[in-house]
Amino acid sequence: MAKSLTTYPAFWSYYFKEHRKPATRALHYFGTAAALACLIFGVAFEPGLLFFIPLAGYSFAWIGHFFVEKNRPATFTYPLWSLVSDFRMFGLWITGRLGPHLKKAGVT
């Protein structure tokens, strides 16, 4: 990416272009679900699990980027927008509303 993104809507479109492959998105979903599970079970039962939230979330996502998508994670350049977008994409996927967002970004 040559130029810096200055708005979240521009980043949102870029985000999907960096997650073109279904396997990359699947690894993100798994990592996000694992991070949420660590949060829920960490708060409810075992506080030590809270330590694993970033490890669970980022490890699967970065595997997707480095080995499947073969690109650099957006987290390195846009950490907050990337985190928000990971949860947003997960929410759209789990509610069955992701398709139009992929299509709008030109991802089939």
Q: pLDDT, tens digit, for every residue of 36-76? A: 999 999 999 999 999 999 999 999 999 999 999 999 999 99
Residue 91 lies in a domain: yes
Amino acid 76: pLDDT: 93
Residue 7 lies in a domain: no
Q: What is the pTM of this model?
A: 0.92
Residue 14 lies in a domain: no
| Cα 57 off chain centre by | 8
Residue 86 lies in a domain: yes
Per the structure block, which two tokens stand in for 38? 């660590």
Residue 88 lies in a domain: yes
DSSP state of 91: H
Residue 108 lies in a domain: no
Per the structure block, which two tokens stand in for 41? 């079970």
Domain that holds residue 42: 23-103
> What is the total count of domains within the chain?
1
Residue 58 lies in a domain: yes
